[in-house]
Structure 1
């Protein structure tokens, strides 16, 4: 079975890897969601009736409706592969198949299920370091380089924790970059990866352990962070809190991967969203989430958002901002719009395309899977909806995130049916 490229995961799923205040936790989570999958379970029986398979796991399973699960081990190939869960009980889940395989399924080895990964490759690895890339042949296969190791010299294990992140065109090993990279300052080429000044450990960062105040003021304490990841085989979005005990409040919004470029043959249309924080000992946070302007919810805000190169395919990186249909002739916040919900004429939720604009003004492309919401947080966090005008047959996951201050939330809609391109 093929075509189920879009998948979503969260920290509350049974067997999901946990992000806490440990160096390397982000790499462990990304390994599971991008490459390996998780929550492997032995299946007792697979039976099929009228194109619907019932998988029975007497010990209890780990799966939810709309999740994509990978089935393996059946002698009848119709049962195997990636499938979308339709319904569940405590000990069963169902999915659709094509054809009329023999029922029950037989196996020469054993039947198994696991939460299916996005299908990326971990191309290089080191201690709490990794480089991930898409395996889709249509992708330019630029890499996400991530260093979630203890920052040295001079850092302690009780301070804030983050991964230094960047886009790189190539690597010869986990520590040696080849070709273009973003972010990049030609006057300070190692700024994102090595300590080049006192109290400076990196530039573009994905935080997962931080209190308010400065990076030296603590890691936010023990416990699992709330996180959500949605993606396909070329792009993913990550939302993660900096401390345990938060729901959407305090979530940071990050992303990495390929947009849908308006330029044919675009080899550098790879995007990265992170926190842009060069020196954490001089930048003060008054609350545990992202600063105003970071993240993915504010229109034409360029902080912490970079493309590997601009549309000319030459030179250094260029920052980007997101935008959509302007419903109020001013700056927009996704999921905090002025449009009533439901919209009166069609009694509906509205979702709009999200465009990627270079800081120079050029429109580079579309952000796949991400839909701009001009209404104000119409549903609770992680609600799945299917009542969207013009989107018949599609389901959307509505993710809340913090923006601007400690009391303000926004919401983004993600297509979880796919495909995104």
Structure 2
């Protein structure tokens, strides 16, 4: 099974905690992008009929469609070493068991075997006190870096660079100082406390999307959030686009207001910024992230195709999203990996963060996980008028 896409969420047992405290965003990104988390020593690993069952004591963070990393298999039937490495979870038959598919022979596999939630395979080449720079490890990537300043409580500052020599020094910034001094904003929480917020992070080796509901510590009903991300878009230019790397950010300093131009929201300004134009010239170029259905409206609160479920066939209508330099006239430059939106209304009535649906049509064979983007304050009561639903593909591959 393809394991290129990694799915993480605050709903996992033993998941990293994002909160209104200094350093919590970097701790989350470290765990999901480069380290993995929740290592457990297995009490047994047994294969029967193409299904491997991992048994452990206590709880484990892994979920169905998530990816774990197995290590320490040193004995068993022929080919036993093939159980080491990344495996996609297909079942949770009990509180202390996880299953995954394998082509290896039936039998008991031995060794001091460990299992952890697998990281997305990114690098952290530079760091400082509550500062970090992340980079894809994929040799096919654009090689751009994301600098995260996590020295504040309720939000962090983010900026991309074409190259860096240390955590405080870089060349080719996006956004530029003229576009927003100090970099863009990502929310963590609307309150400066250790109360956890809800989040979903989905990544492959070149892009990650992160959806955060920062108002949750104020009220259980404040479940709406915004979707941001960083990494290589799927370039549409023949011959490639060496600068097709995006950073989605807010320009608002208050966490509750950081929904502006989110990847699945109404695009008021071009706050998905690329290091240069598709021609490879100039400096940071601002882009809009739009659905292929043609309307610049919040996903799941978009009346283009009517309400959900469709009055004609009862279906959920879905669309990929793309990046362009203007809302109305510029051609698509690149697709946004993994993100799926809906040109229908009333989706907030039907889908909540982490709900799973089977894909259909162009998304057949894929599992989609729901998010709840908003176009209103993230510390207020959501409604079907200001909050919708988008989806992220957790099956992959994205490219």
TM-score relative to the length of structure 2:
0.88
1:208 and 2:188 matched = yes
Please state how far the C-alpha of 1:72 moved relative to its aligned partner.
1.1
Classify 1:13/1:248 alpha carbon distance in 2 versus 1 (closer, same or farther; 3 Å).
farther
Partner of 1:275: 250
Unpaired runs of 5+ residues, structure 1, are: 151-159, 193-201, 212-218
Q: Secondary structure of the equivalent of 2:363?
A: coil
Query: Which stretch of the first structure deviates more once superposed, 389-398 or 248-257?
Result: 248-257
Q: Quote the offset at 1:371 in angstroms.
A: 1.0
Q: Is 1:365 aligned with 2:337?
A: no
Deviation digits for residues 281-313 of structure 1 (CA, Å, limit 9, x no counterpart)? xxxx6xx62356331233443243211111121
Answer whether contact 1:384 1:395 (CA < 8 A) is retained.
yes
Q: How big is the shift at 1:227?
A: 1.4
Q: CA deviation at 1:119?
A: 0.6
Q: How far apart are 1:120 and its partner, in Å?
A: 0.5
Aligned length: 377
Deviation at 1:35, TM superposition (A): 0.3
| Contact 2:64–2:91 (8 Å) recurs in 1 | yes
Match of 1:308 among 251, 275, 285: 275
CA distance in 1, matches of 2:321, 2:48: 41
After superposition, the C-alpha distances for 1:55-85 in whole angstroms (9 at most, x for unaligned) are: 1113343322111111111121222211111
Q: Distance in 2 between matches of 1:358 and 1:116?
A: 35
Aligned-CA RMSD value: 2.2
Q: CA deviation at 1:266?
A: 1.2
Residue among 295, 316, 323 paired with 1:356? 323
Paired residues for 1:225-264 under 5 Å = 225-243=197-215, 244=217, 245-246=219-220, 249-263=223-237, 264=239
Report the secondary structure of 2:256's partner residue: coil
Deviations 1:93-118 (A, max 9, x none): 11101232x510022xx111011111
1:300 and 1:294 map into 2 onto residues whose CA distance is 4
CA contact under 8 A between 1:124 and 1:173: conserved in structure 2? yes
Provide Cα deviations, 1:216-246, integer angstroms capped at 9, x if missing partner: xxx3x34112111111111111122334244
Q: Report the equivalent of 2:77.
A: none
Distance 1:292 1:26 in 2: 17
In the alignment, structure 2 segments of 5+ residues that lack a partner are: 75-79
Matched, 1:403 2:375: yes
Secondary structure of 1:30 counterpart: helix
Deviation of the 1:143 alpha carbon: 0.3
Q: Is the 8 A contact 1:252 1:295 kept in 2?
A: yes
Aligned partner (choices 379, 394, 397) of residue 416 of structure 1: 394
SS in 2 for 1:87: strand
Aligned residue for 1:32, secondary structure, equals helix
- Residue 95, structure 1, aligned to residue 100, structure 2: yes
Q: 1:248 to 1:43 in 2, by over 3 A?
A: farther
Q: 8 Å contact 1:146–1:166 — kept in the other structure? A: yes
Structure 2 residue corresponding to 1:141, chosen from 117, 140, 143 = 143
Q: Please state if 1:79 is matched with 2:83.
A: yes
Q: Is the 8 A contact 1:251 1:290 kept in 2?
A: no
SS in 2 for 1:85: strand
Q: Decide whether aligned partners of structure 1 residues 402 and 17 sit closer, same or farther in structure 2, where only a CA change above 3 A counts.
A: same
Report how far residue 387 of structure 1 moved: 4.6
Give the 5 Å matches for 1:89-128: 89-100=94-105, 103-107=107-111, 110-128=112-130
Paired residues of 1:250 and 1:290 also in contact (CA < 8 A): no
Map of 1:383 onto structure 2 = 355
21-30 vs 202-211, greater mean Cα deviation = 202-211
Change in 2 beyond 3 A, CA 1:387/1:35: closer
Aligned counterpart, 1:332: 297
